[in-house]
Structure 1
Amino acid sequence: MTMTFHTSGDTMSSGVANAAIPAATGARIVIVDDDPGVRELLTEFLVDNGFGAEAVANGAALRDRLDRRDCDLIVLDIMMPGEDGLSILRSLMHVEDGPGIIMFSAISSEIDRIVALEMGADDYILKPSSPREIMARIRSVLRRRASTAARGTTTGIGNAGAAPTDCYAFAGWSFDARRRKLTAPDGVIVAVTETEYRMLAIFLRDPQIVHSREDLADLTGRDVPSCNDRTIDVHVSRLRRKLAVNGGDEIIRTVRNRGYLFLPRVEARAA
């Protein structure tokens, strides 16, 4: 879909951008957009600011790229001819430990934004948007993912002194914090998104207490402007559905006007 970046006085040159924003650490970013102008401008801007950025035109090219090497984050356009961005997003949700995903769209309705987030996207950016804002959103998602990975590999998610291989058991489920592997009572591995992982970590760390939406937003690191109570509700709803397989007992309860309560007792186990 053809669009024009809002620059708001920003320049695409590396000198000005780097002076205002610290350089990145070489994170690998893939832009998926059918508009060659968007691909060129955004890739150049990100490369100038220290990212390992490249761009492809469609889902087939993205899959070919991912078959050859991994990436840290994908900026994915929704409105593309042929296979659209939501279809691509759906296919990527089956990839364990997959990249972060930011949807990029001219569709401004709340429903479309919620659908994308509910399917597993980490963020949703409206077109047109400045390269500087896009980069800030990218940095935000990468920070959250890095912070979660650090917690999972150094202290676990259940208590500050836990070993990195700790697992958690609750209501027949098990969760391997190091491998980010959620296993249902019947032994089936259930895929979770980055945000679901962070949210489950919060519930397992402090079960049987009410977590407000504001606390969940803060603790999951969702510090982007699009994060609000409705966004948190969407992520909790999605996690709740995954934990309700086979008609199991209620695990996450909504507490009216207060937030969410994780009901089961949680047992920490060494893996």
Structure 2
Amino acid sequence: MLVVNRDSQAASVLVAMLCDHGFLAEAVGVTALRNGAGGQDCDLVILDMMVCEDGGLAMLRMLTQRRHCPGVIMLSRHASEVDRIVALEMGADDCVAKPTSPREMLARVRSVVRRRSRTPPVAAVDIGEAGLDRDKRIAVARFAGWTFEVETRTLTSPAGAVVPLTNGEYGMLLRFVAQPRTVQSRERLAVASGKPAGGQRDRTIDVNVSRLRRKLADHTADELIRTVRSGGYLFMPVVACDLATNGGC
């Protein structure tokens, strides 16, 4: 476990408490954490929201996009309710108000560890041009700071805003994240969105892609969907996915 706290004395007390109760823990600085302190073997990060100017959200996003995503408990003294909600929406396992007693902190750590140990493991993979095997199913896709939870059909922006999707947009986005950096024809996108391809339907797909592109553009300046002349559309970001163990894509 890694503890990142702007108060070095409080960090030392927390590390000592965790070690006394059988956990392996150490205090690190935000720069060390950003540079990969703890490698991929860290199971839990306790992160003070005030160590970064953005309230630790960029650091939280970096942690949740790791191949081995650790649990994250955010510590907050001055953060607003909105800040705490955004942190939880972005993937934090808990958000604890400072100051808190060592006993409560220990209970929260144990709670996160128990919850994560009951969660069936998933494999986090980078999806390349070859896409997914047919026996694989995406549980969560992450790209350019976005999080797309497939089962709940939840798309969350880099800032933590939930962006609603129509059934057609959901189907197209699922096709895009399953095969990024691969040209998707209008026919394939029509099938993905539940519409027959051909003729006037192709123009309907263009309209639907434009709407999805506009929703993404409202929350980021990056070009995520590129038009390929006489070909279709190309999903540009690198995609990392948590894969469910059963079912087809």
Instruction: Spell out the pairing of 1:196-207 with structure 2 (5 A cutoff).
Output: 200=151
Tell me which residue corresponds to 2:170.
Answer: 248
Alignment CA distance shift 1:51-1:244 (3 Å): farther
Alignment CA distance shift 1:47-1:67 (3 Å): closer
Alignment CA distance shift 1:149-1:128 (3 Å): same
Letter in 2 for 1:248: Y
Measure the CA separation in 2 of the matches of 1:242 and 1:92: 25
Are the aligned partners of 2:57 and 2:87 in contact in 1 as well (CA < 8 Å)? yes
Instruction: Spell out the pairing of 1:259-270 with structure 2 (5 A cutoff).
Output: 269=247
Tell me which residue corresponds to 2:185.
Answer: none
Deviations 1:122-149 (A, max 9, x none): 1100000011111111111111111013
Are the aligned partners of 2:76 and 2:98 in contact in 1 as well (CA < 8 Å)? yes
Q: TM-score scaled by structure 2?
A: 0.53
Pick aligned residue for 2:112 from 138, 141, 147: 141
Tell me which residue corresponds to 1:40.
Answer: 12
Please state whether the residue corresponding to 2:50 is helix, strand or coil.
Answer: coil
Please state whether the residue corresponding to 1:102 is helix, strand or coil.
Answer: strand
RMSD over equivalenced CA pairs, Å: 4.0
Tell me how far 1:249 sits from its aligned partner: 5.5
Alignment CA distance shift 1:65-1:95 (3 Å): closer
Alignment CA distance shift 1:269-1:90 (3 Å): closer
Measure the CA separation in 2 of the matches of 1:87 and 1:56: 17
Are the aligned partners of 2:44 and 2:71 in contact in 1 as well (CA < 8 Å)? yes
Point out where structure 2 has 5 or more consecutive residues left out of the alignment: 124-133, 173-193, 195-245
Tell me how far 1:109 sits from its aligned partner: 2.9
Residue 106 in structure 1 maps to residue 77 in structure 2 = yes
Are the aligned partners of 1:190 and 1:242 in contact in 2 as well (CA < 8 Å)? no
Tell me which residue corresponds to 1:125.
Answer: 96
Measure the CA separation in 1 of the matches of 2:24 and 2:46: 13
Point out where structure 1 has 5 or more consecutive residues left out of the alignment: 1-28, 154-165, 169-173, 205-235, 251-263
Measure the CA separation in 2 of the matches of 1:190 and 1:61: 21
Instruction: Spell out the pairing of 1:1-271 with structure 2 (5 A cutoff).
Output: 29-57=1-29, 59-66=30-37, 68=39, 70-80=41-51, 84-107=55-78, 109-149=80-120, 174-175=137-138, 182=141, 200=151, 238=156, 241=163, 247-248=169-170, 269=247
Q: TM-score scaled by structure 1?
A: 0.49
Alignment CA distance shift 1:149-1:242 (3 Å): farther
Alignment CA distance shift 1:270-1:115 (3 Å): closer
Measure the CA separation in 1 of the matches of 2:82 and 2:70: 24
Measure the CA separation in 2 of the matches of 1:86 and 1:190: 11
Q: Give the greater-gyration-radius structure (CA).
A: 2
Measure the CA separation in 2 of the matches of 1:77 and 1:36: 11
Tell me how far 1:237 sits from its aligned partner: 6.9
Tell me how far 1:269 sits from its aligned partner: 3.2
Letter in 2 for 1:247: E
Letter in 1 for 2:74: M
Measure the CA separation in 2 of the matches of 1:60 and 1:246: 42
Measure the CA separation in 2 of the matches of 1:62 and 1:136: 24
Measure the CA separation in 1 of the matches of 2:145 and 2:7: 35
